[in-house]
Amino acid sequence: MKKEKASSIQPSGETLKRVLSYIKPYRINLILSLLFALLSVGTQLVVPILTGSAIDEMIGKGAVDFDSLGKILLIIGVSIAVTSLSQWVMNECNNRMTFSVSRDMRSAAIEKIQKLPLSYLDSHPTGDLVSRVISDVDVFTDGLLMGFTQLFSGVLTIIGTVGFMLYINIPITIAVIVITPLSILTAGFIAYKSEKYFRRQSQIRGSQTALINEMVEGNRVIKAFGQQKKVIESFDEINEQLRQTGLRAVFYSSITNPVTRFVNSMVYAAVTITGAFSAIKGGISIGQLSSFLSYANQYTKPFNEISGVVTELQNALTCASRLFQLLDEKEEIPDSPDAISLSPEDVTGQVEIKNVNFSYSPERPLIENMNLTVKPGQHIAIVGPTGCGKTTLINLLMRFYDVNSGSISISGHEIKNLTRSSLRSAYGMVLQDTWLKRGTIRENIAYGKPDATMEEIVEAAKRAHAHSFITRLPGRYDSIVTEDGGNLSQGQKQLLCIARVMLYLPPMLILDEATSSIDTRTELQIQDAFGHMMAGRTSFIVAHRLSTIREADMILVMKDGHIIEHGTHESLLALGGFYHTLYNSQFENADGAE
């Protein structure tokens, strides 16, 4: 599993500012939500005082004022209807705003991933990136939705109930307010303690997703080497860490509600006792006492909700912070403003490498002082032991990585002065590691040339010797390829990747073990097709099977990041050096060497 580089979680205040910047485009929804929340709370708080008035209209035997009571009940009914409608509109606005924000954040994350250098993607677990884009945004959305639905309404309810209680009876209201800070301080302390556990929980969840992704992708290898038990143990270990951290986070967040409920019960008891004595002395009517008790209950209820919302918001901001870490990562060095866009017609195929040095990490040099000149139309084979720098050289040619020093030029232009898109469109790549997108066979072959006709697609498949197996599929060219070609064999996937390049026909080619998963008979046929395709095109061929590169114009023999030998097949054999040893090690049972 790739190791994730440690990075600090942003402070909640800074994260909140960035969240607000995502909300800004949807401020109309926010404003409407706040207005209807205000209307909802206002009409909701009118009901208790109306109820108290209705009670006062019924005090005393035979003293019921039915006319006044009827009017009051009508107003109560209208208030309840307006409250319900306002809450529905408020929730609708909140939903639209929240899910639009989550959509924008996910879109920004995917766009960012496309701009990140390969060095970042190579050094970070895929599962953790998936967790940030999917799980963390989901948690953030839930917390944000709860915040806007309950937080503002709760604050308005508290302010409104205080106002109504002051209107009814000032001394009792003061008694209620005096006890309130105890609830706030308690909730604040618990929220502070729970924040670090929610942060740690999000980090562990990302690591767990990365491990699950690794286990699923490598399931065949795990079973082949009998490592199921070890894998389960690794998963159990991280799962236990998540359990312990989750329990602590949930414990601190869950005690918030009982503690605030205890404080709120004290408030209610204080109101009941104080109000009862006041009613006995005639300082407050029975209806007013009823209204006051209702307001006291509504006053304390938001504290419970707000304490829960604060906990959820902390979790949401932690998850948002993890996503913002991804969005803040250093992007691939952008094309210079005056970068040249090289059209395929302008690509002559000449490649020049001058004094190139490169290493993935400063303490481990790989390619040192490499020099190479490739003439237009030449076929360059690159051979050498594993880890000698063959694929690294391809990465540098495509500018997936930038050289540490020196320069690489194609058609007389240094690649740093070209746009990446035009540079990469000059090459057609067939790699040992195949990749197919979910879609039809036709869509996968036409990936590099979406406007290709059906006749062109079929012709490319025939040249790649993929047509025969495609016609045996139930849907032929409209057959669906599952994720990463899971319903095709490795050889079939590689044939489709070859057909993709044969359809595109770029000015230059890179073949990195392009036939490694194909049987010998089909390989001979494809080599013939490659021969026609490479005619007149500069080509770089990375190969372990040396029999496939005998006809190359130049063979580069690499070792420890250096080109130690170069020449034709015959000249290198005659030299009797490293290539001679490599070749004979593969064909020692044939007839000596040749």
Q: What is the pLDDT of residues 285-330, one digit of tens each?
A: 777 777 777 777 777 777 767 766 777 777 788 788 888 888 888 8
The DSSP bridge partners found for residue 440 are: 480
Question: Which structure tokens are listed for 571?
Answer: 């000249």
How far, in whole angstroms, is CA 477 from its chain's centroid? 32
Q: Nearest to residue 347, comparing CAs of 227, 460, 509?
A: 509
Q: Nearest to residue 500, comparing CAs of 443, 455, 540?
A: 443
Q: What is the pLDDT of residues 86-97, one digit of tens each?
A: 888 888 888 888
pLDDT grade for 592, boundaries at 50, 70 and 90: very low
- Look at residue 594 in the predicted model and tell me its pLDDT: 42
- Look at residue 586 in the predicted model and tell me its pLDDT: 63
Q: Is 323 helix (H, G, I), strand (E, B) or coil?
A: helix
One-letter amino acid at 280 equals I
Residues with Cβ within 8 Å of 371's Cβ and at least 6 positions away in sequence, in order, are 353, 354, 355, 356
Question: Which structure tokens are listed for 155?
Answer: 């604050």
Share of the chain above pLDDT 70, in %: 84
User: Among 331-335, 379-383, 507-511, 555-559, whose mean pLDDT is lowest?
Assistant: 331-335
- Look at residue 5 in the predicted model and tell me its pLDDT: 43
Q: What is the mean pLDDT of residues 121-135?
A: 77
Every domain of the chain and the residues it spans: 13-327, 344-587
- Give the strand pairing for 413-414 and 508-512: unpaired
Whole-model pTM: value is 0.62
User: Among 56-60, 366-370, 467-471, 580-584, whose mean pLDDT is lowest?
Assistant: 56-60
Phi-psi bin for 459: left (phi > 0), alpha (psi -120 to 50), beta? alpha
Q: What is the mean pLDDT of residues 270-283?
A: 75
- Look at residue 63 in the predicted model and tell me its pLDDT: 65
Phi-psi bin for 473: left (phi > 0), alpha (psi -120 to 50), beta? beta
Q: Is 21 helix (H, G, I), strand (E, B) or coil?
A: helix
Spatial separation of the C-alpha atoms in residues 478 and 490, rounded to whole Å = 19
Spatial separation of the C-alpha atoms in residues 345 and 343, rounded to whole Å = 5
- Look at residue 3 in the predicted model and tell me its pLDDT: 43
- Look at residue 545 in the predicted model and tell me its pLDDT: 66
pLDDT grade for 109, boundaries at 50, 70 and 90: confident
Fold exhibited by the domain 344-587:
Rossmann fold (3.40.50)
Q: What is the pLDDT of residues 231-274, one digit of tens each?
A: 788 888 888 888 888 888 777 777 766 777 777 777 777 777 77
* Residue tagged 């580069």 (tokens): 556
User: Among 216-230, 463-477, 481-495, whose mean pLDDT is lowest?
Assistant: 216-230
Q: What is the pLDDT of residues 140-188, one digit of tens each?
A: 887 777 777 777 778 888 888 888 878 877 877 777 777 776 666 776 6
Other CB atoms within 10 Å distance of the CB of residue 63: 8
- Dihedral over alpha carbons 159, 160, 166, 172 (to 10 degrees): -70
- What is the chain's mean pLDDT, rounded? 77
Q: Nearest to residue 442, comparing CAs of 503, 489, 486?
A: 503
Spatial separation of the C-alpha atoms in residues 243 and 131, rounded to whole Å = 17
Q: Is residue 27 classed exposed, middle or buried when 0-12, 13-18 and 19+ CB atoms within 10 A define those classes?
A: exposed
Give the DSSP letter string of 84-143: HHHHHHHHHHHHHHHHHHHHHHHHHHHHHHHHS-HHHHHHS-HHHHHHIIIIIHHHHHHH
Q: What is the mean pLDDT of residues 97-110?
A: 85
Question: Which structure tokens are listed for 112?
Answer: 């960012």
- Look at residue 12 in the predicted model and tell me its pLDDT: 61
* Residue tagged 């319903």 (tokens): 487
CA atoms within 13 A on the CB side of 326: 30
pLDDT grade for 519, boundaries at 50, 70 and 90: low
Question: Which structure tokens are listed for 492?
Answer: 């079939």
Spatial separation of the C-alpha atoms in residues 590 and 82, rounded to whole Å = 91
Spatial separation of the C-alpha atoms in residues 351 and 506, rounded to whole Å = 15
Q: Is residue 532 classed exposed, middle or buried when 0-12, 13-18 and 19+ CB atoms within 10 A define those classes?
A: exposed
One-letter amino acid at 320 equals A
Question: Which structure tokens are listed for 319?
Answer: 């998850």
- Give the strand pairing for 538-542 and 379-383: parallel
- Look at residue 590 in the predicted model and tell me its pLDDT: 45
CATH: 1.10.10.10, 1.20.1560.10, 3.50.50.60, 3.90.1010.10. Which one for 13-327? Answer: 1.20.1560.10
CA atoms within 13 A on the CB side of 104: 15
Q: What is the mean pLDDT of residues 353-360?
A: 84
Is-contact 270 177, C-beta < 8 A? no
- Look at residue 456 in the predicted model and tell me its pLDDT: 86
Phi, psi of 136 (to 5 degrees): -65, -40
Residues with Cβ within 8 Å of 10's Cβ and at least 6 positions away in sequence, in order, are 18, 321, 324, 325
User: Among 148-162, 218-232, 390-404, 408-422, whose mean pLDDT is lowest?
Assistant: 218-232
Share of the chain above pLDDT 90, in %: 0
- Look at residue 223 in the predicted model and tell me its pLDDT: 66
- Give the strand pairing for 427-430 and 367-374: unpaired
